[in-house]
Amino acid sequence: MNETAPIISATDVHKTYRMGRVRVPVLKGVSLGIAPGEWVAVLGASGSGKSTLLHLLGGLDRPDKTDKKNGSARIEFEGRALGRMSRGELDRYRATRIGFVFQFYHLLPELRVLENVTVGAMVRHGRLGYTRHRKEIVNRASGLLEAFGLGHRLRHRPGELSGGERQRVAIARALINEPRVLLADEPTGNLDRATGESILDAIDDLRERLGLTIIMVTHDQHVAERAERVIRLEDGVIAANNAPPKKNILRT
Amino acid sequence: MYQALLTRKYLTTKIMPLLAIAAVTLSVATVLVTWSVMGGFLNTLLTSGRSMIGDVSIYWPNVGFPYYDELCERLEKDPRIKAACPIIESFGVIALPDDQVHGVMVKGIDGTRFARVTDYERTLWWRPLDRPMPKDTDRVDPRLGTDKGYFAGEDWAARLEAGLTLTEPDGSAAAVPGIELSGWNIRLPSGVYIPGAPQRPGRDGKARGINLFLPDGEITLHLMPLDKTGRGVEMVTRTVPVANEFHSGIYEADSQVVFVRFDLVQRMLNMDEAERIERPESPFVFNPKTGRLEEAHTEVIGVDPARATTVLVRAADGVPVHSEEDIEAFRGVCESIYAEFAADHAGEVPGSGSILVRSWRDMNRTMISAVEKETGLVLFVFGLVCFTTVFLVLAIFWSMVSEKTKDIGILRALGGSTAGITWLWLRYGGAVGAVGSGLGLLAAWIVVRNINEIHQWLGDNLGLVIWDPSVYYFFKIPSDMDWQKAVVVVAAGVGTCLFGAALPALRAGLMDPVRALRFE
Ligand SMILES: Nc1ncnc2c1ncn2[C@@H]1O[C@H](COP(=O)(O)OP(=O)(O)OP(=O)(O)O)[C@@H](O)[C@H]1O
Ligand SMILES: [Mg+2]
């Protein structure tokens, strides 16, 4: 762990899904702390609970209620417990502090590329705020898209873009509100190596320039290599929490 | 903000909302057309119901009451009253030239005065016509002028004048029966009457076809005068030329009423001014001078004034008489004027407590209550349509929410709140309702405005006759849009959509965002 106070931390977090009478425990006491500006890769087998962890950290879902077993369980953002936040506060937390990027892009198919990016700002600001900052927001959105090499596709619909282009639009959308933390769920999982690399370059660049904290779920060792730290989920707990595997390790 | 953007996008890029809009458009248009046309139809019916009876009638049946002209003058002095006129109503029997005998309602009228109180002049059928009736495509109407056959060179203006004055060119009093009364007029599908009758039994029991124009003939009128005690005395019979025929649109009137010039009816019924005479006890008296029995002289001891059974009153233009309250107020005016009149003629005319003062609404009660029932029925159907549309919209929105589950998850991940997402879908429902209702209103307006043309087209091309003027007695389907109703229906259309969208919207808002994102 870093010496600096973590921007986001989880302590003994449990998550159990219920399907009828069957209880599916997924996370069984996950603890981690992530420093501001850090790039962390989350590795783990399929079904190990990586997406679940991201959803919990992003305030999209809540962990299991605390009981005797996990009395001190909580997720904190800059020292504030998400569990103490009201629904409205959680909504604002997602709108202002967090940017989500998903494996399958999740763009709104009816909106054009530019609108898909500005919609994040619309959700955040509401009608009045958006109208007031409209120019600024549109400029930032087109700036981001430009930086991702999509400056000439602003008026296209997602259906007319390639996978890599779509994912870049999704990243631009996640960044439109200048979040502190980017939660990326296999952002390159559906892309070829070269495209994936270019996207990772873009993210890395942003991290350096904006001091963005990045938590990125991946299956891919090559992707994990680029992170400063790798967290491995196994059996619902963190099995390894260390520096990224070096290339020589990979070859073995 | 994103709600507005997405509403617009969803509306313009999806098929589903178009289906919902179409459903709303159809419902709104159907209800509006039905309601407007039905309302217009009932209104026309009510207006025709008023056309022959004025606004208020002051009525004392059988022997009638005297000084009616003075009463009319008193009434007409009031600025709220446009005109008043006396009439005599009595049952009678007529015989037609083909020996048909009918029991009828005889109304003695002074045509020109009667026309100021009622729409009498407008109802006279045989008159000059410069344009064919709306559905008379074959121009078979003889009133349009023809140079061949029976009506070659007919002077329709003179006919109209004769009908209005109930006077033949030679000055004799004439009659104007309803157009359906004689059975000598054939009503064409276009609503036009032409003279000519089906075969009917003659007096000898053999079938006869009559092809005669009644206004060129005469009728025999039998009336039963009453004595002062109201008992019938001997029938009085006169042969009266027919001047014209009237068509009010109310079948009962058109088949049962005969107008006859006022003075003739008055004389036949012994209601004209008469000397009051005193007969001695025995018809013969002994004359002491001559020593013989001589015929006794009757002595004139006074004058019995002329009488009428009814005075009809028409409200001045601008005095409202349509609604129940308005007509009641106006009836009160007439009643109080009669009360003054009765006070000045105490003992000679019926007291103000016993005279019958009735409004046009009183006299058309059955029809009005039918009208009100019809309106209730329309509203019931309207409710049913709304109900159906609610479910339709609900079903469509439910499936649209399902289809858009992923979008909902994304928006939640971007920070959208439960309320925000609910509002998105409610707003969307409202937009569908507004667009659908707007289009429905437009469609209804176009249909209602052109309903007669559309109907004509249907008849010409598909042989479809929904509105048969020979059934409904109007030539045109009323084609006025009632904007008050339009506002109600459009509001109901939007409300229906909001209502139908409410449940799916709530479902969308309450959706678990993580599940929504995992949705495939
Ligand atoms: N709503 C749910 N109800 C029941 N079980 C669920 C639900 N969501 C997830 N799970 C289960 O929880 C486990 C963890 O899911 P999660 O999506 O977090 O895995 P993951 O590590 O992201 O896997 P992958 O690498 O395939 O994306 C899985 O076994 C999944 O079946
Ligand atoms: Mg996953």
Gap between the Cα atoms of B363 and B48, Å rounded = 13
Looking at the fold, whether B13 and B93 belong to one and the same domain comes out as no
- The finding on whether A143 has its CB within 6 A of some atom of ligand 1 is no
Averaged pLDDT score across all residues of chain B: 85
Specify if B291 maps to a domain. no
Look at A79-93, B29-43, B67-81, B116-130 and tell me which has the smallest mean pLDDT.
B29-43
Residue type, B507: R
Specify if B102 maps to a domain. yes
Looking at the fold, whether B80 and B201 belong to one and the same domain comes out as yes
Q: Which chain A residues have a beta carbon less than 8 Å from that of B5?
A: 111, 115, 119, 122
Q: Which chain A residues have a beta carbon less than 8 Å from that of B420?
A: 91, 123
Residues B66, B311: contact at Cβ < 8 Å? no
- Above 50 in pLDDT, residue A248? no
Quick one: closest CA in A to B9, which residue? A110
* Tokens describing residue B176: 């104007």
Alpha-helical regions (H) of B245-364: 251-256, 262-268, 324-344, 360-363
Residue type, A85: M
User: What is residue A1's predicted lDDT score, i.e. its pLDDT?
Assistant: 46
| Segments forming the whole domain that contains residue B384 | 2-46+370-517
Q: Kindly state the average pLDDT of the residues B415-444.
A: 92
- Above 50 in pLDDT, residue A16? yes
- Above 50 in pLDDT, residue A2? no
Gap between the Cα atoms of A196 and A204, Å rounded = 12
pLDDT in tens, B332-361: 999 999 999 999 998 888 988 889 999 988
Looking at the fold, whether B186 and B263 belong to one and the same domain comes out as yes
Q: Kindly state the average pLDDT of the residues B397-410.
A: 90
Grade residue B240 by pLDDT with cuts at 50, 70 and 90.
very high
Specify if B71 maps to a domain. yes
User: What is residue B211's predicted lDDT score, i.e. its pLDDT?
Assistant: 62
- The finding on whether A213 has its CB within 6 A of some atom of ligand 1 is no
Residues B358, B59: contact at Cβ < 8 Å? yes
User: What is residue B333's predicted lDDT score, i.e. its pLDDT?
Assistant: 93
Q: First-to-last CA distance in chain A? A: 27
Specify if B298 maps to a domain. no
Residue type, B250: I
DSSP conformation class of B63: T
Specify if B284 maps to a domain. no
**Model ipTM?**
0.89
Q: Which chain B residues have a beta carbon less than 8 Å from that of A61?
A: 512-514
User: What is residue A93's predicted lDDT score, i.e. its pLDDT?
Assistant: 92
Cα–ligand 1 centroid distance for A7 (angstroms): 26
Q: Which of A48, A54, A104, A183 to mutate to test the pocket of ligand 1 (most atoms within 8 A of CB)?
A: A48
- Find, among A185, A165, A181, the residue nearest to A104 by Cα: A185
Specify if B327 maps to a domain. yes
The H or E element spanning position B284 is strand B284-287
Looking at the fold, whether B400 and B260 belong to one and the same domain comes out as no
- Above 60 in pLDDT, residue A250? no
- Above 80 in pLDDT, residue A175? yes
User: What is residue A150's predicted lDDT score, i.e. its pLDDT?
Assistant: 86
| Cβ-defined contact of B418 to A87 (cutoff 8 Å) | yes
- The finding on whether A203 has its CB within 6 A of some atom of ligand 1 is no
Alpha-helical regions (H) of B168-283: 251-256, 262-268
Looking at the fold, whether B181 and B252 belong to one and the same domain comes out as yes
Residue that has been written with the tokens 């176009």 in this structure: B446
- Find, among B73, B77, B99, B97, the residue nearest to B86 by Cα: B73
Look at A58-72, A204-218, B494-508 and tell me which has the smallest mean pLDDT.
A58-72
Gap between the Cα atoms of B43 and B48, Å rounded = 9
Q: How many domains does chain B have?
A: 2
- Closest atom of ligand 1 to CA, residue A44: 21
Specify if B285 maps to a domain. no
pLDDT in tens, B433-489: 999 999 999 999 999 888 878 877 887 777 776 666 555 556 667 777 888 889 988
User: What is residue A3's predicted lDDT score, i.e. its pLDDT?
Assistant: 55
pLDDT in tens, B3-22: 888 888 888 877 888 888 99
Looking at the fold, whether B388 and B352 belong to one and the same domain comes out as no
Residue positions counted in chain A: 252
Q: Kindly state the average pLDDT of the residues B489-495.
A: 91
- The finding on whether A194 has its CB within 6 A of some atom of ligand 1 is no
Protein residue with its CA nearest to atom 29 in ligand 1:
A47
What proportion of chain B, given as a percentage, has pLDDT over 70? 94
Looking at the fold, whether B321 and B343 belong to one and the same domain comes out as yes
Q: What is the 3-state secondary structure (H, E, C) of chain A?
A: CCCCCCCEEEEEEEEEEEECCEEEEEEEEEEEEECCCCEEEEEECCCCCHHHHHHHHCCCCCCCCCCHHHCCCEEEECCEEHHHCCHHHHHHHHHHCEEEECCCCCCCCCCCHHHHHHHHHHHHHHHHHHHHHHHHHHHHHHHHHHHCCCCCCCCCCHHHCCHHHHHHHHHHHHHCCCCCEEEEECCCCCCCHHHHHHHHHHHHHHHHHHCCEEEEECCCHHHHHCCCEEEEEECCEEEEEECCCCHHHHHC
- Above 90 in pLDDT, residue B69? yes
Looking at the fold, whether B348 and B251 belong to one and the same domain comes out as yes
Looking at the fold, whether B7 and B67 belong to one and the same domain comes out as no
Specify if B465 maps to a domain. yes
Look at B227 and A49; give whichever has higher pLDDT: A49
Residue that has been written with the tokens 């046309």 in this structure: B37
- The finding on whether A104 has its CB within 6 A of some atom of ligand 1 is no
Of B4, B5, B414, the CB nearest to A120: B414
Query: What DSSP string describes B313-341?
Result: EEEPTT---SSHHHHHHHHHHHHHHHHHH
Gap between the Cα atoms of A155 and A147, Å rounded = 16
Look at A218 and B467; give whichever has higher pLDDT: A218
Q: Which chain B residues have a beta carbon less than 8 Å from that of A55?
A: 514, 517
Of B1, B6, B409, the CB nearest to A126: B1
DSSP conformation class of B141: -
| Cβ-defined contact of B513 to A95 (cutoff 8 Å) | no
User: What is residue B84's predicted lDDT score, i.e. its pLDDT?
Assistant: 94
What proportion of chain A, given as a percentage, has pLDDT over 90? 23
Look at A212 and B228; give whichever has higher pLDDT: A212
Testing the interface with A: which of B1, B417, B423 to mutate, by most A Cβ within 10 A?
B1
Quick one: closest CA in B to A97, which residue? B415
- Find, among A1, A70, A118, the residue nearest to A236 by Cα: A70
- Above 90 in pLDDT, residue B491? yes
- The finding on whether A81 has its CB within 6 A of some atom of ligand 1 is no
Looking at the fold, whether B132 and B79 belong to one and the same domain comes out as yes
User: What is residue B370's predicted lDDT score, i.e. its pLDDT?
Assistant: 78
Grade residue A252 by pLDDT with cuts at 50, 70 and 90.
very low
Looking at the fold, whether B78 and B152 belong to one and the same domain comes out as yes
Residue B13 dihedral angles phi and psi, to the nearest 5°: -115, 0
Residue B393 dihedral angles phi and psi, to the nearest 5°: -65, -40
User: What is residue B507's predicted lDDT score, i.e. its pLDDT?
Assistant: 92
Testing the interface with A: which of B414, B418, B428 to mutate, by most A Cβ within 10 A?
B414
Q: Which chain A residues have a beta carbon less than 8 Å from that of B9?
A: 108, 110-111
Quick one: closest CA in A to B11, which residue? A110
Which domains, from first to last, does chain A contain? 8-106+163-249 (3.40.50.300)
Grade residue B239 by pLDDT with cuts at 50, 70 and 90.
very high
Q: Which chain A residues have a beta carbon less than 8 Å from that of B405?
A: none
User: What is residue B290's predicted lDDT score, i.e. its pLDDT?
Assistant: 82
Least Cα separation, residue B416 to chain A (angstroms): 6
Averaged pLDDT score across all residues of chain A: 85
Looking at the fold, whether B383 and B435 belong to one and the same domain comes out as yes
The angle formed by the CA atoms of residues B259, B52 and B230, to the nearest 5 degrees, is: 55
| Pairing verdict, β B284-287 and B101-109 | unpaired
Of B9, B418, B514, the CB nearest to A111: B9
B/e letters for A52-82, b = 16+ CB within 10 Å, e = fewer, are bbbbbbbbbbebbeeeeebeebbbbbeeeeb
Cα–ligand 1 centroid distance for A51 (angstroms): 7
Least Cα separation, residue A194 to chain B (angstroms): 27
Q: Kindly state the average pLDDT of the residues A200-224.
A: 86
* Tokens describing residue A200: 């990772």
Grade residue B205 by pLDDT with cuts at 50, 70 and 90.
low
Residues B479, B418: contact at Cβ < 8 Å? no
Query: What DSSP string describes B425-463?
Result: HHHHHHHHHHHHHHHHHHHHHHHHHTHHHHHHHHHHHH-
